[in-house]
């Protein structure tokens, strides 16, 4: 373990020093760090993971940048100011004796939700946080899975493991798509990130199966500050699934993840997300704040990156999965369904930056607002001066359910090259009383009618999801819309 000299005077390092002095590192493991963020905390996190010097320096540099930055407030969101010193940057994983010992100990309402969402039985225990010893299935499934991947030469492991086992790869690509100084939350994440996924697809390899966070066994801690890096070499292909439909609670309200994707020549990365973080109660209290920076770099010619997401959770969502279309003839795609109900707020969208020649981008965004939800689509299509023959198609549709919700669209189109073709279509519709009555008059129940209409609305996006995710996503929307009408 490397030597760590802690700057004196910081509130945390005094605490940390004491513990190290007496060798009671495990106490923090058991209790977590006290709230507060300073350089000492960053060093502690890095030291705990036994990270190499270069990574510690990278974190510290990010932290210094973060200290110079202000939290952005231009989003169309109503947020109470966040006190970054009141948050703990490391929570201890729950000890087994504090966990439910079996499904019988779990809140029956939660189990009911799993039922409605069709969560497989063997997954419910793990998702509900039942003491790990009780769950053997995940271990055995994971082992066969990893054997197949090893045969193909695919690297898929936790970010922390990647730092230990493939440091040269991590170092080569980390921060090259989302540098720390990119934005306030990216800087914060870069300083204090906990863990995440690392995927590396070697040249010409088509990953034999969909990779999902479920199979990343070391996911004991919740994803407060997740960091994910996916690199696909020439002619490689990977489809990655993030998240799950099961409602996820977290003691930590603030989530600031960073996801970087790198696609080299002729490579393709498909990244799908289904997210259902706890949205808070009907009055909006206690939900998760989800501030995510996701970006894909189509570095190589003819590379392709597509983002597909279904977002129904969180109290506040702020994310713009984007593509930088550097390579000639590279392609970027964004398909999204975002649902805001009760008091949820979302300011989301995408950025497609056309740099190379003959690049194409496609954006299909479907926003559904219900209850008092407020949703904004914010999209940027930028065509650089040298990006000859760029093509973009954007379709952003909003559906309003009920009379008290809102949908807003902020499209930004910046074209610096006269040969570009940029198309933008936007529609807003209300689930009309007309449409509902039409269904009722044919004998279809109100609940089924709303599902049917919403599903029709989202079809273009659901089509892009890997099949099992699509089925789950539909179920998720239905459950999330319960009671939204009338």
Partner 1 sequence: MLEIKNLHATVAGKPILKGLDLAVRAGEVHAIMGPNGAGKSTLGNVIAGREGYEVTDGEILFKGRNMLELEPEERACEGVFLAFQYPVEIPGVNNTYFLRAALNAQRKYRGEPELDSMQFLKLVREKLKILHISDDLMHRAVNEGFSGGEKKRNEIFQMAVLEPALAILDETDSGLDIDALRLVAEGVNRQRSPERSMIVVTHYQRLLDHIVPDFVHVLADGRIVASGDADLARKLEEEGYAWLEDGGIQRLSTGSEARAGA
Residue 20 or 393 with smaller CB distance to partner 1: 393
Closer residue to partner 1 (CB): 178 or 400: 400
E-strand spans in 197-253?
A: 197-201, 211-212, 227-232, 237-243
**Residue selected from 440, 468, 482, 483 as contacting partner 1 according to rule CB under 8 A:** 440
**425 lines the binding site for partner 1 (CB under 8 A):** no
Closest distance of CB 395 from partner 1, Å: 12
Q: Which two tokens stand for residue 172?
A: 């080569």
- Smallest gap from residue 318 Cβ to partner 1 (A): 28
**What is the smallest separation between the CB atom of 433 and partner 1, expressed in angstroms?**
7
Tell me phi and psi for residue 113, to 5 degrees: -65, -40
Euclidean distance between the first and the last CA atom of the chain, given in angstroms as a whole number: 61
- Among residues 278 and 393, whose Cβ is nearest to partner 1? 393
C-alpha separations of 451 from 183, 273, 445, 456, 478 in Å: 38, 21, 10, 8, 6
Question: Environment class of residue 27 by beta-carbon count within 10 Å: exposed (0-12), middle (13-18) or buried (19+)?
Answer: middle
Among 127, 353, 453, 476, binds partner 1 (CB under 8 A): 453
- Nearest alpha-carbon partner for 392 in 423, 349, 357: 423
Among 187, 267, 405, 458, binds partner 1 (CB under 8 A): 458
Task: Give the interface segment with partner 1, choosing from 50-58, 99-107, 271-279, 429-437 (CB under 8 A).
Answer: 429-437
Tokens of 171: 């170092």
Copy the structure tokens of residue 291. 């501030």
Q: Please give the Cα distance from 60 to 168 (Å, whole number).
A: 20
103 three-class SS: helix
CA 67/CA 387 separation, integer angstroms: 36
483 lies in the site for partner 1, by CB under 8 A:
no
Question: Which CB atom, from 102 or from 445, has the smaller least distance to partner 1?
Answer: 445
Residue 463 as a binder of partner 1 (CB under 8 A): the answer is no
User: Which of 7, 72, 204, 456 lies at the binding interface for partner 1 (CB under 8 A)?
Assistant: 456
Minimum distance from residue 450 beta carbon to partner 1 (Å): 11
CA–CA gap between residue 348 and residue 292 (Å, rounded): 10
Q: How far apart are CB 186 and partner 1 at their closest, in Å?
A: 36
CB 230 within 8 A of CB 269: yes
Assess 438 for contact with partner 1 (CB under 8 A): yes
Question: Which of these ranges, 84-92, 258-266, 305-313, 430-438, lies near partner 1 under the rule CB under 8 A?
Answer: 430-438
Q: Which of 135, 184, 435, 475 binds partner 1 (CB under 8 A)?
A: 435
Under the binding rule (CB under 8 A), the answer on residue 91 touching partner 1 is: no
| Site residues for partner 1 per CB under 8 A | 432-435, 437-446, 448, 452-453, 455-460
């Amino acid at each position: 373990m490397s030597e760590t000299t802690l700057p004196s005077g910081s509130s945390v390092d005094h605490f940390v020093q004491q513990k190290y002095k007496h060798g009671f590192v495990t106490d923090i493991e058991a209790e977590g760090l006290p709230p507060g963020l300073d350089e000492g905390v960053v060093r502690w996190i890095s030291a705990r993971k036994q990270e190499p010097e270069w990574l510690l320096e990278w974190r510290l540099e990010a932290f210094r940048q973060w200290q110079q930055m202000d939290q952005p407030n231009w989003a169309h969101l109503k947020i109470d100011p966040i006190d970054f010193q009141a948050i703990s940057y490391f929570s201890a994983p729950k000890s087994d004796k504090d966990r439910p010992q079996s499904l019988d100990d779990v809140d029956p309402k939660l189990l009911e939700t799993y039922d409605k969402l069709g969560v497989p039985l063997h997954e419910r225990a793990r998702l509900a946080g039942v003491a790990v010893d009780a769950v053997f299935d995940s271990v055995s499934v994971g082992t066969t899975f990893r054997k197949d991947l090893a045969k193909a030469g695919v690297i898929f492991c936790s970010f922390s493991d990647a730092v230990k086992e493939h440091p040269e790869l991590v170092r080569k690509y980390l921060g090259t798509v989302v540098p720390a100084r990119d934005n306030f939350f990216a800087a914060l994440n870069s300083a204090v990130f906990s863990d995440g996924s690392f995927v590396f697809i070697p040249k010409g390899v088509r990953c034999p199966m969909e990779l999902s966070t479920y199979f990343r066994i070391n996911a004991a801690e919740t994803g407060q500050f997740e960091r994910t890096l996916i690199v696909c070499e020439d002619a490689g292909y990977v489809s990655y699934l993030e998240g799950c439909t099961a409602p996820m609670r977290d003691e930590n309200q603030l989530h600031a993840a960073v996801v970087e994707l790198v696609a080299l020549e002729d490579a393709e990365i498909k990244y799908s997300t289904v997210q259902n973080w706890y949205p808070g109660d009907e009055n909006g209290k206690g939900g998760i704040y989800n501030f995510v920076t996701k970006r894909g770099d189509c570095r190589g010619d003819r590379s392709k990156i597509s983002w597909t997401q279904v977002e129904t959770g969180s109290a506040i969502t702020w994310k713009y999965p984007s593509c930088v279309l550097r390579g000639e003839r590279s392609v970027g795609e964004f398909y999204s369904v975002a649902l805001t109900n009760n008091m949820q707020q979302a300011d989301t969208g995408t950025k497609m930056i056309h740099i190379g020649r003959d690049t194409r981008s496609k954006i299909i965004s479907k926003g559904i607002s219900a209850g008092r939800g407020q949703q904004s689509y914010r999209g940027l299509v930028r065509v650089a001066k040298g990006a000859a023959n760029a093509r973009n198609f954007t379709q952003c549709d909003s559906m309003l359910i009920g009379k008290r919700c809102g949908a807003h669209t902020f499209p930004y189109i910046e074209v610096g090259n006269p040969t570009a073709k940029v198309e933008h279509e936007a529609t807003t519709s209300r689930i009309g009383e007309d449409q509902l009555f039409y269904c009722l008059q044919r004998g279809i129940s109100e609940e089924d009618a709303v599902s049917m209409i919403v599903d029709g609305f989202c079809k273009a996006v659901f089509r892009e999801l890997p099949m099992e995710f699509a089925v789950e996503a539909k179920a998720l929307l239905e459950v999330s819309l319960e009671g939204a009408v009338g």
